[in-house]
Each structure stands twice: as structure tokens, then as C-alpha cells.
């Protein structure tokens, strides 16, 4: 079974690529479970890809610092470069759950400039292990990601 579950915070806003077949790309900061020898948690920064409607929703509702749970799969591949085989590894999201409310900010992604004040909160899934989840002040998250 090829299944990967990651929980982390976006390191920057979602980037949309492509016109017709949209691809959303974002990176999340994921703390490791155990601390290192200095007593700190190491952090990994996997890049996540989403497609079409999921990409659009992620770009619409997520901003830097948003907490998400990503249900994904790993896809591997290869290509030839200079006569040598280069291997690739991608994390493709099947589902992205928004674990906190969208933060209000002054950038154009959060406040539509067209005068339309009909902002809708993203749907909140009240099931699963994060029922009633609240944002916590985690000292393991660097200040630049808040």
C-alpha cells in the first residue's frame, strides 16, 4: 500500500502552475517525532503537489502558516540526463484537510480586491483524530513560519 500522512504548516502560500490542468505546489514543515542530541526537534520540508480542484481549493483557503493534514502517495520515476539515469520522488496529495481557520492578512489572497465580501470559511471535517483541534503555540515552529 502506497500511503503517506503528513501534518505540518505551510512555509509559504500555495503556488499554482498551469492554465488548464492546474497543479498546486506547496511545502510544509513537519517536525520529527524525536529530539536530537541538542534536545531540539529536527524539521523536514517535503514539497506537496495537488491537482485541479484540490489545487484550486488549497490556493484559495491556505496561506503561509496554515496547519494541514495531507493524505498522499509517493510516486517515483526517472529520466536520462547526460547518459545517466536520474531518479525522482514526488509526494502527490489525494486529500488535504485544513486543520485551522484561515488567518486574516493584508495580502490579496486573503482579502479579495473586487469588493466581494462573501468570503466562505473552508468546510471543517468534524471527524477523525483532529476533532476539536485548536491551534497551539508550538515552540518547535520557527518564528519565520508563524
- In this structure, what CATH number is given to the domain that contains residue 76? 2.40.50.140
Helix (H) or strand (E) holding 32: strand 23-35
Tell me what the mean pLDDT of segment 53-62 comes to: 96
Tell me what the mean pLDDT of segment 45-55 comes to: 96
> Which pLDDT band, with edges at 50, 70 and 90, does 42 fall under?
very high
What is the C-alpha separation between 89 and 94, in angstroms, rounded? 16
The confidence score (pLDDT) of residue 19 equals 84
Domains in the chain, number: 1
In eight-state DSSP terms, residue 93 is E
What is the C-alpha separation between 108 and 41, in angstroms, rounded? 34
CA dist 140 → 40, 99, 132 (Å): 8, 18, 22
Residue 138 above 90 pLDDT?
no
Q: Using an 8 Å Cβ cutoff, are 28 and 48 in contact?
A: yes
**Model pLDDT for residues 60-76, shown as the tens digit of each residue:** 999 999 999 999 999 99
**Model pLDDT for residues 89-115, shown as the tens digit of each residue:** 999 999 999 998 655 443 434 433 343
Range of the domain at 118: 4-145
pLDDT: which is higher, 9 or 120: 9
The confidence score (pLDDT) of residue 104 equals 43
Least Cα distance to 26 among 76, 78, 75, 61 occurs for: 61
**Model pLDDT for residues 4-39, shown as the tens digit of each residue:** 999 999 999 999 998 888 999 999 999 999 999 999
Q: Using an 8 Å Cβ cutoff, are 114 and 133 in contact?
A: no
The confidence score (pLDDT) of residue 94 equals 97
Q: Using an 8 Å Cβ cutoff, are 41 and 31 in contact?
A: yes
Amino acid at each position: 500500500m502506497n500511503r503517506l500522512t503528513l501534518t505540518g504548516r505551510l512555509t509559504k502560500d500555495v503556488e499554482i502552475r498551469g492554465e488548464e490542468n492546474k497543479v498546486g505546489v506547496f511545502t510544509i514543515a513537519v517536525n520529527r517525532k524525536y529530539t536530537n542530541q541538542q534536545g531540539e526537534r529536527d524539521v523536514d520540508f517535503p514539497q506537496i503537489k495537488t491537482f485541479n480542484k484540490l489545487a484550486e481549493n488549497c490556493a484559495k483557503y491556505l496561506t503561509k502558516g496554515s496547519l494541514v493534514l495531507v493524505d498522499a502517495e509517493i510516486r517515483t520515476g526517472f529520466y536520462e540526463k547526460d547518459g545517466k539515469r536520474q531518479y525522482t520522488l514526488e509526494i502527490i496529495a489525494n486529500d488535504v484537510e485544513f486543520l485551522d481557520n484561515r488567518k486574516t492578512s493584508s495580502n490579496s489572497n486573503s482579502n479579495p480586491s473586487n469588493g466581494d465580501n462573501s468570503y466562505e470559511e473552508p468546510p471543517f471535517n468534524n471527524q477523525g483524530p483532529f476533532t476539536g483541534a485548536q491551534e497551539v503555540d508550538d515552540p518547535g515552529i520557527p518564528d519565520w513560519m508563524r
